[in-house]
Structure formats: structure tokens, C-alpha cells
Amino acid sequence: MLETNQPAPDFTAINQDGDAISLAQFRGQKNVVLYFYPKDDTPGCTTEANEFTALIDQFTAADTVVLGVSKDTCEKHQKFIKKRGLKVDLLADTSGELCELYGTWGERKFMGRTYMGIGRSTFVIDKQGKLAEVNYKVKAKGHAQAMLELVQGLA
């Protein structure tokens, strides 16, 4: 598991439009909120994406980019964005490589069933590329506001 104050693992992933997004492109310029979620258009994931979207102008004012990550395809991401009017980039980690890199993929339990999946997690990466926040146990409701307050406090 990752910890705060260590360098964030570098990555390049494809967003909903098929564009390559890399962590390196933001270094020295923007903070990054990298949030992992289980699946597009499910209740908790929709709540989280809607809350980040509602606050996107404030994240932008705080020099922060918000990137969502799931194993859904670019096409599913596009449908989710269009249906919900989302204003965040969603990265398609169909191979699971980014989930593995950040330690968000693993055994999950829900309603007595055990399965492999993405654990709702968020990483705040400062402009220098260090992990300012590591949270492997995220509750969707109210999470975006807490992350906004955190990035507003970064130097």
C-alpha cells in the first residue's frame, strides 16, 4: 500500500476520448486528485462523480485536476459522462495495470459474496509529484468536498 509523502507512481492511461493522460504532464503545474471507483453509473460511483463535477470550478481554481479511474472502457466512460453531465476525465484502466500500481485492486466482500474488484480509493498528488493524501477506504458521499478542502490547503 502507498503512503503519504512518498512519490506517486507514474502512469499513462487513456481517458474517455482515447487521449493519453500521464501524471508527468501535470508535474510542476497542477495537483492531481486521482480517484478509483468500482464501476460507471452505479449509485455510489455516480454520487462521487456528480460531487466532483459540482465542485470542478473550485478544483480548477485550486490548480487541481480531477481524474477518475475504473476498469470500464472508453465507450462506457463516454456514456456515463454524457448521461450524467460529468466534467471530470475518466481513465479507462481495462488491463487493471493502474489499479495494481496504486494498490486498489483486490478481494472485496459485499452482501456475503466475495469477489475481485476495485476498492473506492483516492490519492491526492501535489505539484511536486508526492502523495499528499492516501485514502483506501473512501465513502462516496461528501468525499469530493473533503478532497477540495485538502487541495485548497496545499502550497
Query: Is residue 34 a contact partner of residue 13, using CB atoms and an 8 Å limit?
Result: no
Which residues, in sequence order, are CB contacts of 87 under 8 Å at separation 6+?
A: 53, 56
Residue with grid cell 466512460, as numbered in its chain: 77
Query: Catalytic pick from 45, 62, 88, 150?
Result: 45
Nine-digit cell string for 30: 497542477
* Catalytic-residue membership of 99: no
| Angle, in degrees to the nearest 10, between helices 143-152 and 43-54 | 40
Query: Is residue 105 a contact partner of residue 11, using CB atoms and an 8 Å limit?
Result: no
Question: What separation in angstroms does the CA of 73 have from each of 76, 117, 153?
Answer: 5, 15, 34
Reference 27, options 49, 16, 11, 5; nearest CA is 11
Q: Which residues are catalytic?
A: 45
